[in-house]
Structure 1
Amino acid sequence: MIAQALRIHESTVNRHLKDYFSQKKLAPETAALKAICPPNKPQN
């Protein structure tokens, strides 16, 4: 369901979830993901 909602391949979702659970890694590593998921900026 996540893959369908985000229109990405299921294996991509699985890889990101595996990385998160094994390494607590949240930051994207590819240029494409960095463009889609820019870092959060603090609210003033």
Structure 2
Amino acid sequence: MNATEQTLLFASTGVVLVGTLVVFVVQFIRGRGRDGGDGSNQ
């Protein structure tokens, strides 16, 4: 495995991890009902 392949592998792994983390954070914020306010969780 040369340097270019290693860089591509690292970059794609980082993108997948960051994307998964963002999805979890967005779901957590929506689940708390931040926009709704007073405990409206649908």
TM-score of the two chains, using structure 2 as the length reference: 0.35
TM-score of the two chains, using structure 1 as the length reference: 0.33
Q: Which has the higher helix share?
A: 2
